[in-house]
Amino acid sequence: MAVSQAFSLFAFTLSLLAVAYTVSGHNITQILSDTPEYSSFNSYLSQTKLADEINSRTTITVLVLNNGAMSSLAGKHPLSVVKNALSLLVLLDYYDPLKLHQLAKGSTLTTTLYQTTGQALGNLGFVNVTDLKGGKVGFGSAAPGSKLDSSYTKSVKQIPYNISVLEINAPIIAPGILTAPAPSSGGVNNLTGLLEKAGCKTFANLLVSSGVLKTYESTVEKGLTVFAPSDEAFKAKGVPDLTNLTQAEVVSLLEYHALAEYKPKGSLKTNKDAISTLATNGAGKYDLTTSTSGDEVILHTGVGPSRLADTVVDETPVVIFTVDNVLLPTELFGKSPSPAPAPAPEPVSAPTPSPAKSPSPVEAPAASPPAPPVDESSPEGAPSDSPTSSENSNAKNAAFHVKASALFTALVALAATSLLS
């Protein structure tokens, strides 16, 4: 009996251990913060908000550049162009040093974050990864005729199979990615045209007639995020009659639909705090909160939710989204009504006793199968004939891991005690 209990406890221990190892996250800026040679790359991840996008994803590989390699991009191109170039270094799959040398047929095309932006034509958002002779691994654009101009140099950090950070010696340059026109304020100067084309003509007309368009344009250089309701959203049931609002209230409503900062979808997905809008002032908060459902982002005003529907434009430092509901601030429209309390239960009279019956046997629930043991091993680096790997033991580098070793030790000791008793 004691043996059976001990094995049951051991199986339970393994189950807890498996759960513990799945509760993990990563923070790319913290991973790179302890290594000064990646300070430029890390800074641009923050400036472009790519760090938020990386942190919001799992099963991802980041190809980092040291400060010397970053010098070919840093300060030589507009921020939006640098963002595109760096997004091509974020692979939407997990590659550690071992996997790089075990590619099927020695080569593969993998999707990058750049492919998800909608700006990559054809296969420009894919990267060619090829295992070369002599233990080297080359990277290049998947565009026809492109060369493998970048090579793997060393491993920086792995959290299997969540995030892998590998150093390469040069940027991966897709054709035309560095010559794309910079999104000057011209992208926003045509804001009304973009909104009308996206099915937000009503919103665009209100911005012009109220003068709020000028407020939007004045924030462009420092960053602008717009949540534009569709024309259908203004016709939806429950939307207040805006003609009953004063001019000042209309201005506040329209300013409530924009932020004085660049906050793309990845940043909204990782957001935990209330967000100030252009309408935020001392007299009222006029803020928003966010939640996620899968890959969707939902905005909450206190009156009702609104879903991010589509991205009209995302060109650093400007991003414009369409939303499926008009954002109604509580400062103008009050809070959403609380659900009515449930009626108190009616008193229940005692049942008439019935003749006692012989108790029937109760089947015990089937025991759950023990969880499979968790493989805690991870590749320590590339094979001996490949470039060397750096130490992966930096304790402060961004993994929010549940430390399962102490739990494992304690529960195994408890299992052994039960076995011996």
Tens digits of per-residue pLDDT, 383-410?
434 454 443 444 344 444 434 444 444 4
Place of tokens 């040093």: 97
Q: How confident is the chain (421 residues) per 10-residue block, as mean pLDDT?
A: 49 44 70 95 95 93 97 89 95 96 92 89 93 90 94 96 96 88 54 93 96 93 94 92 93 96 92 93 83 93 94 91 96 68 50 44 40 41 43 42 43 47 49
Nearest-angstrom CA–CA distance, 1 and 276: 62
Q: Is the pTM of this model over 0.85?
A: no
Please, where are the H alpha helices in 159-199?
A: 186-189, 191-197
Token pair belonging to 311: 């991205």
Tokens coding 197: 């084309």
- Rounded CA-CA distance 187/317 in Å is 10
Write the DSSP string, 98-161: HHHTT-GGGEEEEEBGGGGGS---TTTTEEEEEE-GGG-EEEEE-STT----EEEEEEEEEETT
* Distance, CA of 98 to CA of 383 (rounded, Å): 7
Q: Do 320 and 264 contact (CB within 8 A), yes or no?
A: no
Question: Which residues are within 8 A (CB) of 80 and not within 5 positions of it... i.e. 6 or more apart?
Answer: 180, 182, 183, 315, 316, 317
Helix axes 2-22, 404-420, angle to 10 degrees: 180
pLDDT value of position 138 = 97
Give the model's pLDDT for residue 287.
94
Is the Cβ–Cβ distance between 298 and 317 less than 8 Å?
no
Here the tokens at position 31 are 């991973």
Q: What is the pLDDT of residue 104?
A: 87
User: What is the model's pLDDT at position 14?
Assistant: 45
User: Helix or strand or coil: residue 81?
Assistant: helix
Residues across the chain: 421
Residue pair 53/113 in contact by the 8 Å Cβ criterion: yes
In the structure encoding, which two tokens stand for residue 393, read together? Answer: 């033991």
The dihedral region occupied by 59, where left means phi > 0, alpha psi between -120 and 50, and beta the remainder, is: left
Per-residue pLDDT at 284: 63
pLDDT number for residue 121: 85
The 10s digit of each residue's pLDDT in 129-171 is 999 978 899 999 999 999 999 999 999 999 999 999 999 999 9
Buried b (16+ CB within 10 A) or exposed e, 188-203: beebbebbbebbbebb
- In what side-by-side order are the strands of the sheet with 137-141? 90-91, 60-64, 163-168, 150-159, 137-141, 126-131, 107-111
pLDDT (0 to 100) of residue 283: 58
Q: Where are the alpha helices (DSSP H) in 245-341?
A: 247-255, 265-270, 330-333
